[in-house]
């Protein structure tokens, strides 16, 4: 079974959208780059993850935002040849971004569950708050790699469901605190 890993930037109150800009429409967009001192070591997790990443998974909105930018970005060059999957019931094949490697559209949560049963290594989800929440509720996410920022946003898309559901237990695999207040926390989902 392949491991499904959510990786992302998250505010202390659980918001994951608009870390780099106002694209989600709330006034706190850009919270990763505003008022937080940039320390390369606080972002080293992103480079470390590459060794475990064998495929990328996106929701439609994040795919449409990231694909045209990451395709031509030197910082994301290692992603170019990785298989990519987009979960969407509406995205058409002709809407896929050319020149960014093999991309497959999955139509449902069940398709993601089937993908996990295939051979291969870690599948990493970037952005994609709605998808991550849905996959978490379905018990499909195996690990959370989070950089937690010392901000409270109030508005925005949350990573975790607020529904009354069975408890999920997480086990801390690794953590580190940085002088700029960012915390790296890596949790395995254990039940």
What's 63's domain CATH number?
3.40.430.10
More confident call, 36 vs 67: 67
Distance in angstroms (rounded) separating the CA atoms of residues 178 and 107:
39
Distance in angstroms (rounded) separating the CA atoms of residues 74 and 28:
27
Backbone angles phi, psi at 73, to 5 degrees: -90, 130
Rounded to the nearest angstrom, the gap between the alpha carbon of residue 86 and the centroid of all alpha carbons in its chain is 12
Distance in angstroms (rounded) separating the CA atoms of residues 121 and 119:
7
| 69-91 mean pLDDT | 93
Distance in angstroms (rounded) separating the CA atoms of residues 104 and 138:
21
User: What does the mean pLDDT of the chain come to?
Assistant: 91
Neighbours of 69 (CB within 10 A): 12
| 88-105 mean pLDDT | 95
Neighbours of 154 (CB within 10 A): 11
DSSP string, 67-88: HHHHTT-GGGGGGTTS-EEEE-
Q: Give 10-52 pLDDT, tens digit per residue.
A: 999 998 877 766 666 667 777 788 878 899 999 999 889 988 9
| 88-100 mean pLDDT | 95
Domain that holds residue 59: 4-189
Distance in angstroms (rounded) separating the CA atoms of residues 45 and 7:
9
Confidence of residue 116 (pLDDT cuts 50, 70, 90): very high
Predicted local distance difference test score (pLDDT) of residue 168: 87
More confident call, 25 vs 107: 107
Domain count, the chain: 1
Q: Give 142-179 pLDDT, tens digit per residue.
A: 999 999 999 998 888 888 888 887 888 999 999 999 99
Q: What is the DSSP letter of 134?
A: H
Predicted local distance difference test score (pLDDT) of residue 4: 98
CA-CA-CA-CA dihedral for 53, 59, 65, 67, to nearest 10: 40
């Amino acid at each position: 079974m392949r491991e499904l890993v959510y990786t992302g930037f998250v505010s202390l109150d659980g918001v994951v959208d608009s870390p780099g800009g106002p694209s989600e429409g709330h006034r706190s967009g850009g919270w990763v780059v505003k008022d937080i001192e940039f320390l390369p070591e606080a972002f080293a997790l992103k480079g470390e993850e590459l060794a475990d990443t064998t495929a990328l998974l996106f929701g439609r909105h994040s795919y449409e935002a990231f694909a045209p930018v990451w395709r031509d970005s030197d910082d994301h060059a290692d992603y170019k040849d990785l298989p990519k999957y987009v979960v969407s019931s509406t995205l058409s094949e002709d809407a896929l971004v050319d020149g960014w490697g093999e991309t497959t559209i999955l139509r449902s949560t069940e398709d993601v569950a089937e993908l996990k049963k295939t051979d291969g290594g870690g599948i990493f989800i970037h952005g994609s708050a709605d998808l991550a929440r849905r996959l978490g509720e379905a018990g499909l996410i195996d690990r959370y790699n989070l950089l937690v920022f010392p901000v409270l946003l109030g508005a925005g898309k949350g990573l975790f469901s607020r529904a009354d559901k069975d408890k999920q237990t997480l086990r801390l695999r690794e953590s580190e605190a940085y002088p700029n207040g960012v915390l790296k926390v890596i949790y395995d989902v254990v039940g």
